[in-house]
Structure 1
Amino acid sequence: MHKHYKVALPYFSEKDISWIKEKVGVVLRGQLSTGPFVHEFEKQFATFMGTKYAVCVNTCTSALEISLKVLGLKKGDEVIVPAETFIATGMAVTLNGGKVVFAEIDPTSFCLNLKEVKRRISKKTRGVILVHFGGYMSHETIEIQKFCRQKGLFLIEDAAHAHGSSIDGKMAGSIGDTGCFSFFSTKIMTTGEGGMLTTNSKKIYDFAVALRERGRALNSGKELYSFEWRSCRVPEISALLGLNQLSHLNESIRIRNKITSIYNKEFRKTDALTTLTVPSNVRNAYWKHITIINDKRIARKKLAEILKVRYRIDINWAYDPPLHLQPVYRKMYRLRKGFLPVTENIMERHFHLPLHVGISANDAKYIAESVLEAAEKIRG
């Protein structure tokens, strides 16, 4: 019997665990929160991502919210957001008083493209949140950046899935005014919970650090608070996990790309499924691998059931429903199904296979062959 293949799993080797245990002792005898390990993690993360600064926070949601606050979002300002994203991307806008302008994704990348950004812009548009969904990057990322600069719009990269993705050698999180990363337990690298804000602006960096400390005036010798905010501080133990995971990130990305290439190669054998073509100037880190169902006879839930029961393979799909059809936004903006037909159609037909460091090349081949076999059974 084959082992159970889960979609995502964190990975720490025995050597990693020993190192972490050793350093935990140092933490327990020193500063427990937002101390030297957090600062070292920030320094190394900024270096890896090619930015001048990084601010470690408690969640990616906090990084998004701080970014919008720092970039001056005001009540009624519009922010263009793709509908294929986690609820936190939209919530960061609306909780800061802004209005989400939901946008279609490009089916070839599952990300925004420049044409859609131009289509959604208005006199009230303040900025764009470019989501690198699944670790994929739009081939028009640089063009979107240039357009935003020309129009005086801010650009926030939601890089929650994209630790190490790049285009033209430029890392995700280094292209916009800020980059926002997640270290949730299923992500490419994890601290259990946590996030990071990256930027090349000293002004944004200083403001973000102050907001992490509830809006405290950090250059004052007194405990003074200049802005309204909340604590977004980070435990030192979380930073230990982050430092360890960051040291293996390139190897993790290499393995993920190898697994993805096997899936892509195997699925060329059928017309029932397709995968995304990646431009040669883009390197995806692949939090998720995207497979699209082309045959209407193949019901996604049925496929998932067969794979789980017969082959011990888990699959899932993110996100369901799309952002604009979440109950909170259906009510807030009076939206109905059909508002974004391209996005809704492609999001109903895609799924994600197991993808993590624990998947070997042989595992990937078994998984892909099992999917093909299950799909043919459903097709009859």
Structure 2
Amino acid sequence: MSASARPIYLDYNATTPLDQRVLDSMMPWLTGNFGNAASRTHLYGWEAAEAVATARQQVARILGATEKEIVFTSGATESNNLALKGAFEALGASRKHIITVATEHKAVLDTCQHLEAFGAEVTYLLPDSDGLICPEQVQDALRPDTLLVSVMYANNEIGVIQPIIEIGSLCRKAGVLFHTDATQAVGKVPIDVQHAAIDLLSLSAHKLYGPKGVGALYVRKGISLTAQLDGGRHERGLRSGTLNVPGIVGLGVACALAQKELAKESTRLTELRNTLENNLINSLLNTQINGHRTQRLPQTTNISFGGLDGEELLMSLHRLAVSNGSACTSASVEPSFVLKALGLPDDLAHASIRFSLGRFTTSEDIDLAIGHILEVVSRIRNGA
């Protein structure tokens, strides 16, 4: 299929294309500079270790952390597993209670369910109809045996940004660990782990124009975790395995680029998203935006098109690459559990589309998308 015939990509929350600048930074480490960063007796290993150290600094910088607090992983799913399982195995003998949110990514929810089989007691907070929880819900759920609170920084389906700073403060005062899956937030909104009192933070490179298969876990100094992979005691004993040097270099550069361009890109994407929303909401009856209208990511919108069959709508939007939920649950025929948690009925949840814009989205893309969506929705509603 020619480039001009390919659908307009509006599914950046599922994954982002690799930025050419990131690829360029990775290429030397895929060819001539192939050393193992754990090889400390020759030049090849020294070069690789230095590249990893630079990337660690770049990742730390975008989070307001120190490089010694960054643990490289294969991605946010592994980071979430290491954070939750690692904390439970290290400290769960005396504290077995975990608090999370019903709209978390499956990488957190499934991990919590796994821990329940090993004695954990998990409280799943329900958000309001706008997708937000309030700090008081966390406060009320805290118990003397609460080990950890895990709240997603920004939701992958509706883009809402939770009150992370307030929740972090509550947890710090209560002496409870605070973990956030910030996969969708890193590089899109400013993050400061110190100011927000975050103890553990998960991220993934492929959500910010880096390569797939690499991510990181921020572990605040002094936090004890039990490693989930044994063999070699890499990454300060928290994550064994030969380091993916090209991927780590790419993650570091992706973080540096995102941090440099964050403010300008946030303004640009907010304007494009608002143009998309306003045109659709003002032109189509029985159409609504799901989630909080202001406390959300700049590039994400989730819109319900009432009175339509969701599968027919999604398949008819052949000029667009969009989704009806998380990429990790897209094989399911069930309506989005996130939208259901907000109180949407099945028919409306089924007829909802997530549009997520990104670095390479243009105003022309948005204009073409608007025209295509209006034409398709009108045609389906008119029975044509």
TM-score, normalization: structure 1? 0.74
User: What is the aligned partner in structure 2 of residue 202 from structure 1?
Assistant: 221
Contact 1:316 1:353 in 2 (8 A): yes
Number of corresponding residues: 346
**CA distance, structure 2, for counterparts of residue 373 and residue 116 of structure 1:** 43
Does the alignment pair 1:342 with 2:338? no
Identity of aligned residues (%): 14
1:298 offset after TM fit, Å? Answer: 1.9
SS of corresponding position for 2:320: coil
1:64 offset after TM fit, Å? Answer: 1.9
Does the alignment pair 1:20 with 2:26? yes
Counting only pairs closer than 5 Å after superposition, residues 64-83 of structure 1 correspond to structure 2 as 64-68=80-84, 69-70=86-87, 72-74=90-92, 77-83=96-102
For 1:283-307, what per-residue CA distance to the aligned partner results, in whole angstroms no more than 9, with x for missing partners? 7364xx2323162x12221210111
**CA distance, structure 2, for counterparts of residue 140 and residue 103 of structure 1:** 14
Counting only pairs closer than 5 Å after superposition, residues 44-63 of structure 1 correspond to structure 2 as 44-52=58-66, 53-63=69-79
**C-alpha spacing 1:257/1:239, structure 2 compared with 1 (3 Å):** farther
Counting only pairs closer than 5 Å after superposition, residues 1-380 of structure 1 correspond to structure 2 as 3-6=6-9, 7-8=11-12, 10-12=16-18, 14=20, 16-29=22-35, 30-31=44-45, 35-52=49-66, 53-68=69-84, 69-70=86-87, 72-74=90-92, 77-96=96-115, 97=118, 98-108=120-130, 110-118=131-139, 120-121=141-142, 124-131=145-152, 132-134=154-156, 136-138=159-161, 140-166=163-189, 170-171=191-192, 175=196, 176-184=198-206, 187-199=207-219, 201-204=220-223, 207=224, 214=231, 216=233, 231=240, 233-250=242-259, 251=261, 253-254=265-266, 256-269=269-282, 270-275=284-289, 276-279=291-294, 284=297, 286=299, 289-293=300-304, 295=306, 297-308=307-318, 312-319=319-326, 342=343, 348-353=350-355, 355-380=357-382
SS of corresponding position for 1:11: coil
**C-alpha spacing 1:45/1:86, structure 2 compared with 1 (3 Å):** same
Contact 2:204 2:216 in 1 (8 A): yes
**C-alpha spacing 1:111/1:341, structure 2 compared with 1 (3 Å):** closer
Which runs of no fewer than 5 residues in structure 2 stay unpaired?
Answer: 36-43
Letter in 2 for 1:55: V
1:367 offset after TM fit, Å? Answer: 1.0
User: What is the aligned partner in structure 1 of residue 38 from structure 2?
Assistant: none
Contact 2:71 2:218 in 1 (8 A): yes
1:202 offset after TM fit, Å? Answer: 1.7
Aligned-residue CA RMSD (Å): 4.0
Contact 1:262 1:361 in 2 (8 A): no
SS of corresponding position for 1:248: helix
Which runs of no fewer than 5 residues in structure 1 stay unpaired?
Answer: 220-224, 328-335
Contact 2:104 2:151 in 1 (8 A): no
**CA distance, structure 2, for counterparts of residue 215 and residue 82 of structure 1:** 35
1:158 offset after TM fit, Å? Answer: 0.7
SS of corresponding position for 2:148: strand
